[in-house]
Amino acid sequence: MLVASNRGPYRFDPEADGSFRAHPGGGGLSSALRPLLGDPGVEAHWIAAAVTDGDRAAVRAGAVHAPDLDLVLLDLDPDLARLHYEVVSNQVLWFLFHGMFDLVHRPRFDHDFREAWAAYTAVNQAFADAITTHAPHGDVVLVQDYQLALVPGMVTDARPDLRVVAFLHTPFCGPTSARVLPTDVAESLLGSLTRVPVGFHTDRWARAYAASAREILGTASDPPTFVAPLGPDAAHLAEVADSAAARAALAELDAVVHDRRVILRIDRLEPSKNIVRGFAAFDRLLELHPEWRTTVTFVALLNPSREALPEYLAYRDEVTRAVDAVNARWATSAWQPIVCDTRDDFAGSIAALERYDVLLVNPLRDGLNLVAKEGPLCNRRDGVVVLSPEAGAYAELQEAVVEVHPYDVEQAAAALHRALAMAPDERAERAARLRTLAAARSPRTWLDDLRRTAGA
Ligand code: G6P
């Protein structure tokens, strides 16, 4: 089995003695798949881009050695890699799939975009070449996500013997949005993807993709799709929750929040996560319901992300201003309404998941949102999940969550109040149901679905 993804399962940092150490990489995909590597029957080769300076140095030193798999990192030309990742993948495809364009102003497909599109194509070709070089005859190839959308077509052309499936961890847009792309670009992307079965976390994105493919390619029938939601790795979560690092993080959090109720969110610092409206809803909650002043703390664990992009830097500033405004309005000498932490600390996140009374997950649109499933498995307080129907996970969890409208701040404030004020027996009932629903899928069932679709 060969996995290809832009961000790999490990990143490499140089040590003082000149060697390189492999650290588990970020991102839901690699944390989901890493624990399975080395399981009986999961003999994996993984091809990814060298993303950090440490990764590139490790490639050049011949020091890319992962503990449990055969890893190849591609040392791409930095300009090509930047245009592929920042411009086409993140400024165009990510924005399109998450419905984030303000179409009066963006996107503008000019000469610079054409250069970026050529770079996207070249990087996809580099991945395809690496796959065809490394994959033995008849191998299963699992191509991950929107950064590699041209790879399925390229690989299938070069090596018809390979059994390729693609999986998109993002939402997909419908035909009206797909038509925003330059016609040849939309045709190339969909023309490539439709050569192989494409998986999604929920049926809604699969249907949007099929409708876009029919319209853009002018085909009468639906392309092959499958739905395979990812689930949390319960054993790994339990192990981390028991670790000394998580215990220390929980003690640190308790010292900040004391016995107050906790509203928690854990997100990449990412515009599609709708962080600012979440704070606006909290502000409105405090305005409407004085009983929550001083008795609730909003803990926001926000990991900085894609900081080379001006959109993300601007959003980070907006988030900071929103936090400051709410705190300036409501703080007392003994209570800080919003506590925001931008350290990337997995054990700390798991500890916070144990402690929440309300988990707020209100994205504009989200392929899945694994935190919405991890939360119920880690939580020890019958916490309520307040979830946007625009997150893929909603399809599986809806019967036991409190729904939050991502754009309706009044409704969101009411949803937070409802969650905080919920009677203990209803909380317990919903939490129990959520644990069952969230545990229904795992990294293993997800991977098995991909491999079965590939005919493995
Ligand atoms: C999302 C995408 C992944 C991506 C991750 C982190 O989950 O679906 O493909 O790896 O975000 O984003 P980054 O740009 O840092 O890799």
Mean pLDDT for the stretch of residues 315-341:
98
Mean pLDDT (whole number) for 280-288: 99
| 161 contact partners, CB below 8 Å, separation of at least 6 | 137, 138
Chain CA centroid to CA 420, Å: 27
Q: For residue 379, count CB atoms less than 10 angstroms from its CB and return exposed for 0-12, middle for 13-18, buried for 19 or more.
A: buried
Q: Looking at the CA of residue 30, tell me the nearest atom of ligand 1.
A: 10
Q: What is the mean pLDDT of the chain?
A: 96
Q: Which phi and psi (to 5°) does residue 173 adopt?
A: -90, 160
Find the 135 Cα to ligand 1 centroid distance in Å: 25
**Closest atom of ligand 1 relative to the 85 alpha carbon:** 14
Nearest CA to ligand 1 atom 5: 27
Spatial separation of the C-alpha atoms in residues 391 and 366, rounded to whole Å = 5
pLDDT greater than 80 at residue 4: yes
Pocket flag, ligand 1, residue 443 (CB < 6 Å):
no
CA of 422 to the centre of ligand 1 (A): 35
CB 7 within 8 A of CB 30: yes
For residue 10, give the H/E element and its range.
Answer: strand 10-14
Question: Which band of pLDDT confidence, cut at 50, 70 and 90, is reported for residue 68?
Answer: confident
369 Cβ below 6 A of ligand 1: no
User: Which ranges in the chain are annotated with CATH 3.40.50.2000?
Assistant: 2-230+445-454, 234-438
Confidence (pLDDT) at 389: 98
Residue 407 has pLDDT above 90, yes or no: yes
0.85 surpassed by pTM: yes
Residue 67 pLDDT grade (very low, low, confident, very high; cuts 50, 70, 90): confident
Nearest one of 218, 159, 163 to 190, comparing CA atoms? 218
Tokens for 419, please give them: 């969650």
H-state helical runs in 142-243: 151-158, 175-178, 183-193, 203-217, 234-241
Protein residue closest via CA to atom 9 of ligand 1: 145
In this prediction, residues 308-334 reach a mean pLDDT of 98
CB-CB neighbours of 38 under 10 Å: 12
To test the ligand 1 pocket, which listed residue (3, 29, 95, 365) has its Cβ within 8 A of the most ligand atoms?
A: 29
Is residue 107 reached through a cis peptide bond, with omega within 30 degrees of 0 on the bond before it? yes
Ligand 1 in contact with 201 (CB < 6 A)? no
Instruction: Give mean pLDDT, residues 344-352.
Output: 95
Report CA(278)–ligand 1 centroid distance (Å): 22
Q: Which residues contact 127 (CB under 8 A, 6 or more apart)?
A: 4, 47, 74, 148, 151
Give the Cα separation of 361 and 266 in Å (integer): 8
Span 309-333, mean pLDDT?
98
Q: Provide the residue count of the chain.
A: 456
Question: Which ligand 1 atom is the nearest neighbour of the CA of 90?
Answer: 14
Give pLDDT, residue 34: 77
Say if residue 301's pLDDT is above 80.
Answer: yes
Residue 70 DSSP class: E
Task: Tell the residue nearest (CA) to atom 14 of ligand 1.
Answer: 306
- The protein residue with its alpha carbon nearest to ligand 1, atom 4, reads 27
Write out pLDDT tens, residues 137-146.
Answer: 999 999 999 9
The mean per-residue pLDDT over the stretch 227-252 comes to 96
Which tokens in the block code for residue 212?
């876009």
CB 199 within 8 A of CB 160: no
Report how far ligand 1's centroid is from the alpha carbon of 303 (Å).
12
Dihedral, 392, 225, 6, 229 alpha carbons, nearest 10: 30
> Ligand 1 centre and the CA of 65: distance in Å?
22
User: Residue 324: its pLDDT value, please?
Assistant: 98
Q: What percent of the chain has pLDDT over 70?
A: 99
Which contiguous run of DSSP H or E holds residue 224?
Answer: none
Q: Is the CB of 170 under 6 A from ligand 1?
A: yes
Return the closest-CA partner of residue 155 out of 176, 187, 128.
128
Tokens of residue 53, six digits: 């300076």
Instruction: Determine if ligand 1 sits within 6 Å of the CB of residue 306.
Output: yes
pLDDT tens-digit series, residues 85-104? 999 999 999 999 999 999 99
Task: Please write the tens of the pLDDT for every residue from 411-431.
Answer: 999 999 999 999 999 999 999
**Residue among 3, 270, 305 to mutate when testing ligand 1 (max atoms within 8 A of CB):** 305
CB-ligand 1 contact for 8 (6 Å cutoff):
no
Q: Which CATH number fits domain 2-230+445-454: 3.20.20.140, 3.40.50.2000, 3.40.50.150, 3.30.465.10?
A: 3.40.50.2000
Instruction: Select from 70, 68, 69, 50 the least CA-distant residue to 60.
Output: 50
Res 32: pLDDT: 74
Q: Tens digit of pLDDT for each residue in 168-193?
A: 999 999 999 999 999 999 999 999 99
Place of tokens 């959109």: 311
Q: How far apart are CA 6 and CA 52, in angstroms?
A: 12
CATH number given to 234-438:
3.40.50.2000
* CB-ligand 1 contact for 27 (6 Å cutoff): yes
| C-alpha to C-alpha distance for 412 and 328, rounded to whole angstroms | 21
Query: How much is the pLDDT for 38?
Result: 72
Give per-residue pLDDT as tens, 13-66: 999 998 999 988 776 677 778 778 777 777 789 999 999 999 999 999 999 998
Instruction: Identify the pLDDT of residue 125.
Output: 98
Rounded to a whole number of angstroms, the CA Rg of the chain reads: 22
Whose structure tokens read 């996560």? 273
Mean pLDDT of 385-392: 98
End-to-end CA distance of the chain: 9
State in Å: Cα 5 to ligand 1 middle.
10
Ligand 1 neighbour 305 (Cβ under 6 A): yes
Rounded to an integer, the average pLDDT of 357-383 is 98
> Average pLDDT, stretch 308-318?
98
Residue 66's pLDDT is what? 87
- Closest ligand 1 atom to residue 367 Cα is 8
> Residue 112's pLDDT is what?
98
Query: For residue 427, how far is its CA from the centre of ligand 1 (angstroms)?
Result: 33
Distance of CA 122 to the CA centre of its chain: 25
Pick the closest to residue 131 from 182, 165, 98 (CA basis): 165
- Flag the least confident range among 39-43, 385-389, 400-404, 429-433: 39-43
In the prediction, which pLDDT does 346 show? 92
